[in-house]
């Protein structure tokens, strides 16, 4: 082991519980051991998820939260001890690995409740039951400290009042639920939370709590609910039973659905550092044994779930500061890198490193650090494309359908939370596979095919692997994307696939193979207006084929267009964005943590956005726009077009363009088209298509 990482692998204590090292696997959506409204109370496949990680040198596991009461039907989990039975074997296996486990328990979301669209009309009318009389949503789940608080995801929905009688019931339920957890064999519990703007945090903060009773007003009153919870747990489970608190050091919130960005001077409406210094002392005195820390609220969600635009080690300085005000250990989370964590632990500035989505991306992450195999780590790129794909437009609209959202999965590692769906054993009948195209889709196909025992030749027409992802990774804040490209190239080389660079294929059917996988990508669209030839594509700009002047107009306010605007602003240039819809970064499938941070960064850098506007012409002086207010010319030295891509269908029979998984030829090698040449998608669709195609080839249904 590199000596600089040794502090990560020293023991520490939470209360009387000794933990073998300083790595804490954080609670995440989709990692819940108990989704107890299901018939069995046990999430299908979650045992395999934890078996993949139990022997990988994690010190403390904290699975995803357990709600005290069901969303539907008002069922209290402590009244159903049977739902804890199926998880006991997994708890024992985790203990056998030498690790410890805390269960996280939660009072719910309050105004941060994610409301299924079909239920919003009922909630807006404060109706608890459908016409049939069946309970459709438990009242607790759409109640907040203050009546008529706007819901984060659907501001038209006003929350109901969380009464003092409800508080009493919840305090009791926390104690009883913690007891059920203790009886199941866990080593402690974590209370969720004075954190991220969930219900207990809404009680704790000034801008969401204006109650006139003993749970409002002073800081002590606003923390009373959280303090009563830990006292009840200690009373029921014993003073020596550890209780952790998920804790946001600072709220980083400017107002409702308004977050601050790193480096911004702003007026905090939630918990600032001065108040946090006092709060952590009050909470410690109440009985909490551990503070599991980051920053943020749902109004500034990207501090709790940092996307690619967030600096590495985003929350570290805040957590280091708050440790000076408590005698209890603190955990830090938020794109925390192992070197920075180890240095801080060695200096006594934090006690442990919180790791979340990186362990979805690579279950062996900690083991690879310990064994000096850092180059083998599949890097998390903070895309949130499968682990947290909740869309939202921060109070201006939403495109959320939580009934069809995958959580706790990984764009780069489809195996995660699909352990019972996919296989990894060798193919019974290995094939000769030719892959045409060396982008992410082609490389993923080649790597997975080799792992299953197939013979693979990969053909790339240029001298560089990576395809369009090279352009995507070019921006200064995409260091993890560049690490991913290097990781793919190393994995491809180690796989034993034969890689042919500068080898353009003109006739895939002529390749000596049983199967040909075509993954040749897509081509950028251009404007069809007068003067369009003066513009350059986003790909050309990002690949260094065109330089940008000082004043730059980006046509297209989707993800790539806004990322380019942010990159140019960081360079000190003066970009502006033209978007034909009402929203920037409004496409389906982009997590709100990512889209809202990008929009806030453009606000902070004062990047003009022309919404509901279209380009009429590109001239020597700039861009002529048709806006809601009429025609307008925006001066520009450079015009960059980012309006999407069209699949490269040169090898696909016209009658079958765009049909995924369709075998295109009845004679010669079987041909499959994946990635953007099949249908333009995202990194998630590209990797998943490649992964599932190899599954299909390797394990054909009988």
Give whole-number Cα distances, 687 to 50, 361, 385, 674, 690, in Å.
Answer: 23, 13, 12, 9, 5
Q: What are phi and psi of 239, to 5 degrees?
A: -65, -25
Candidates 50, 198, 302, 459; catalytic one: 198
Nearby residues of 578 by Cβ (< 8 Å), 6 or more positions away: 553, 554, 555, 556, 557, 609, 610, 613, 614, 615, 623, 625, 634
Q: Tell me how far apart the alpha carbons of residues 678 and 675 are, in angstroms, rounded to a whole number.
A: 6
The alpha carbon of 567 is separated from its chain's Cα centroid by a whole number of angstroms, namely 22
| Torsion-angle region of 108 (φ positive above 0: left; ψ -120 to 50: alpha; else: beta) | left
Count of CB atoms situated within 10 Å of the CB of 185:
17
d(CA 575, CA 541): 14
Q: Which two tokens stand for residue 200?
A: 């207990």
Judge whether 198 counts as a catalytic residue. Answer: yes
Closest CA to 32 of 90, 79, 81, 71: 90
User: How far, in Å, CA of 313 to CA of 473, rounded?
Assistant: 20
Q: Which two tokens stand for residue 666?
A: 């009845």
End-to-end CA separation in angstroms for the chain: 47
Secondary structure letter of residue 129 according to DSSP: B
Number of neighbouring beta carbons within 10 Å of residue 425: 9
Dist CA 560 CA 574 (whole Å):
17
Query: Which of 562, 599, 556 shows the shortest CA–CA distance to 580?
Result: 556
Q: Which helix (H) or strand (E) holds 191?
A: strand 188-194
Place of tokens 């794109």: 335
**What is the gyration radius of the CA atoms in the chain, in angstroms?**
26
Cα torsion angle, 7, 8, 11, 15, sign: positive
**Assigned token pair, 417:** 């939370």
DSSP line for 499-564: EESS---S-GGGSS-SEEEE---EEE----STTGGG-EEHHHHHTTSS---SEEEEE--SHHHHHH
Q: What are the CB-based long-range contacts (under 8 Å, 24+) for 554-557?
A: 554/578, 554/640, 554/642, 555/527, 555/615, 555/623, 555/639, 555/640, 555/641, 555/642, 555/643, 556/641, 556/642, 556/643, 556/644, 557/581, 557/583, 557/584, 557/585, 557/586, 557/609, 557/611
Q: C-alpha 483: how far from its chain's center? A: 18
73 vs 44, 303, 494, CA distance in Å? Answer: 22, 33, 53
Residues forming the active site:
198
């Amino acid at each position: 082991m590199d000596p600089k990482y040794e502090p990560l692998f020293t023991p520490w204590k939470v209360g009387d519980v000794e933990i073998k090292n300083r790595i804490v696997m954080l609670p995440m959506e989709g990692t819940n051991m108990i989704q107890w409204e299901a018939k069995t109370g046990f999430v299908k496949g979650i045992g395999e998820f934890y078996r993949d990680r139990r022997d990988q040198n994690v010190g403390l596991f904290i699975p995803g939260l357990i709600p005290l009461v069901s969303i539907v039907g008002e069922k209290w989990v402590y009244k159903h001890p049977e739902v804890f039975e199926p998880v006991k074997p997994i708890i024992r296996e985790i203990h056998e690995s030498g690790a410890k486990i805390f269960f996280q328990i939660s009072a719910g979301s309050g105004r941060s409740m994610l409301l299924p669209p079909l239920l919003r009309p009922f909630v807006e009318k404060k109706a608890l039951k459908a016409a049939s009389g069946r309970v459709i949503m438990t009242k607790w789940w759409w109640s907040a400290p203050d009546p008529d608080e706007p819901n984060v995801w659907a501001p038209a929905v006003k929350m109901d009042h969380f009464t003092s009688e409800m508080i009493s019931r919840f305090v009791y339920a926390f104690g009883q639920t913690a007891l059920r957890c203790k009886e199941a064999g866990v080593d402690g519990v974590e209370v969720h939370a004075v954190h991220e703007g969930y219900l207990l945090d809404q009680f704790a903060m000034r801008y969401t709590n204006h109650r006139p009773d003993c749970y409002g007003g002073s800081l002590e009153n606003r923390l009373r609910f959280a303090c009563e919870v830990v006292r009840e747990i200690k009373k029921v489970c014993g003073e020596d039973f550890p209780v952790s608190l998920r804790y946001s050091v600072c709220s980083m919130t400017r107002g409702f659905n308004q977050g601050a960005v790193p480096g911004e001077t702003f007026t905090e409406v939630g918990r600032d550092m001065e108040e946090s210094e006092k709060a952590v002392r009050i909470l410690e005195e109440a009985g909490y044994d551990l503070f599991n820390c980051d920053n943020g609220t749902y109004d500034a969600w990207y501090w709790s779930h940092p996307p690619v635009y967030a600096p590495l080690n985003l929350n570290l300085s805040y957590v280091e500061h708050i440790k000076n005000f408590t005698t209890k250990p603190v955990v830090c989370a938020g794109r925390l890198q192992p070197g920075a964590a180890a240095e801080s632990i060695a200096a006594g500035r934090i006690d442990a490193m919180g790791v979340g989505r990186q362990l979805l991306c690579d279950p062996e992450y900690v083991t690879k650090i310990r064994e000096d195999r850092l180059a083998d780590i599949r890097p998390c790129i903070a895309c949130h494309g499968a682990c947290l794909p909740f869309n939202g437009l921060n109070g201006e609209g939403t495109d959320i359908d939580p009934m069809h959202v995958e959580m706790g999965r990984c764009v780069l590692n489809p195996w995660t939370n699909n352990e019972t769906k996919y296989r990894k054993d060798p193919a019974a009948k290995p094939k000769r596979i030719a892959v045409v195209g060396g982008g992410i889709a082609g490389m993923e196909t080649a790597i997975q095919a080799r792992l299953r025992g197939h013979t693979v030749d990969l053909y790339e027409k240029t001298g560089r692997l990576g395809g369009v992802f090279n352009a995507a990774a070019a921006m200064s804040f995409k260091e993890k994307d560049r690490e991913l490209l290097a990781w793919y190239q190393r994995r491809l080389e180690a796989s034993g696939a034969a890689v042919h660079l500068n080898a353009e294929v003109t006739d895939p059917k002529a390749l000596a193979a049983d199967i040909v996988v075509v993954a040749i990508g897509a081509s950028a669209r251009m404007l069809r207006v007068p003067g369009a030839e003066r513009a350059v594509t986003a790909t050309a700009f990002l690949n260094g084929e065109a330089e940008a002047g000082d004043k730059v107009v980006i046509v297209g306010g989707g993800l790539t267009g806004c990322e380019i605007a942010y990159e140019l602003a960081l360079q000190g240039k003066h970009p502006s964005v033209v978007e034909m819809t009402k929203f920037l970064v409004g496409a389906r499938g982009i997590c709100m943590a990512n889209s809202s941070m990008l929009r806030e960064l453009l606000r902070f850098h004062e990047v003009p956005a022309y919404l509901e506007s279209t380009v009429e012409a590109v001239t020597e002086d700039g861009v002529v726009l048709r806006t809601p207010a009429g025609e307008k010319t925006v001066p520009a030295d450079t015009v960059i077009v980012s309006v999407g891509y069209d699949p490269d269908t040169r090898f696909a029979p016209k009658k079958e363009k765009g049909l995924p998984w369709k075998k295109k030829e009845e004679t010669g090698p079987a041909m499959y088209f994946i990635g953007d040449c099949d249908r333009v998608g995202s990194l998630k669709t590209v990797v998943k298509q490649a992964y599932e195609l190899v599954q299909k080839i390797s394990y054909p249904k009988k």
